[in-house]
Amino acid sequence: MMGTLPRMLKLRAVLGRHQNLCWNFPSSGSETTILSKLPPWTSAGLLLAVNILPGRVVTDPDLLESNNEDWLKSVRGSSEVLLRPQTSQEVSQILKYCNSRNLAVNPQGGNTGLVGGSVPVYDEIILSTALMNHIRSFDSISGILTCQAGCVLEDLSLYLEQRDHIMPLDLGAKGSCHIGGNVATNAGGLRLLRYGSLHGTVLGLEVVLADGQVLDCLATLRKDNTGYDLKQLFIGSEGTLGVITAASILCPRKPKSVNVAFLGCETFEQLLKTFQLCRGMLGEILSAYEFLDSECMRLLNTHLKLANPVRDCQFYIVIETSGSEPTHDEEKLHNFLEEAMTSSLVSEGTVATEDSKIKALWSLRERITEAMAHDGYTYKYDVSLPVEELYQLVTDMRERVGGRAKSVVGYGHCGRWKPPPEHHLSGQRPRPLGRH
- Decide if 371 contacts 407 (C-beta within 8 A): no
Q: Does 220 score more than 70 pLDDT? A: yes
The phi, psi pair for 62, rounded to 5°, reads -65, -40
Least-confidence region, from 21-25, 327-331, 421-425: 21-25
Candidate from 94-98, 240-244, 412-416 with smallest mean pLDDT: 412-416
List of domains in the chain: 45-128 (3.30.43.10), 135-250 (3.30.465.10), 257-413 (3.30.70.2190)
Give the pLDDT confidence score for residue 356 in this predicted structure: 93
Report CA dihedral (135, 136, 138, 144) to the nearest 10 degrees: -100
In this predicted model, which residue has the larger pLDDT, 431 or 36? Answer: 36
- Mapped onto helix, strand or coil, the DSSP state of residue 348 is strand
State how far the alpha carbon of 143 is from the alpha carbons of 154, 164, 219, 251, 279, in Å. 17, 10, 13, 5, 27
Mean pLDDT taken over the chain: 84
Across residues 150-165, what is the average pLDDT? 96
The C-alpha atoms of residue 286 and residue 33 are separated, in whole angstroms, by 63
Contact 387, 416 (CB under 8 A): yes
**pLDDT value at 229 more than 80:** yes
Residue 178 has a CB neighbour count (10 Å cut-off) of 28
Name the residue among 6, 44, 237, 24 with its Cα closest to residue 122.
6
According to DSSP, the residues that pair with 108 across neighbouring strands are: 128
pLDDT value, residue 149: 97
Contacts of residue 216, defined as CB under 8 A and 6 or more positions apart, other chains included, come to 206
pLDDT class for 273, splitting at 50, 70, 90?
very high
Q: What average pLDDT does this structure show over 376-401?
A: 86
Give the pLDDT confidence score for residue 380 in this predicted structure. Answer: 79
pLDDT at 192: 85
Which of 68-72, 144-148, 337-341 has the least mean pLDDT?
68-72
DSSP secondary structure string for all residues of 285-304? GEEEEEEEEHHHHHHHHHHH
What is the predicted pLDDT for the residue at 417? 41
pLDDT tens digits, 55-105: 899 989 999 999 999 888 888 999 989 999 999 999 999 999 889 888 899
Instruction: Give the burial string for 101-134 (b: 16+ CB within 10 Å, else e).
Output: eebbbbbbbbbbbbebbbbbbbbbbbbbbbebbe
Query: Is pLDDT of 12 > 50?
Result: no
Q: What pLDDT, on the 0 to 100 scale, is given for residue 50?
A: 73
Give the mean model confidence (pLDDT) for residues 119-140: 94
Question: Closest by alpha carbon to 294, among 310, 312, 270?
Answer: 312
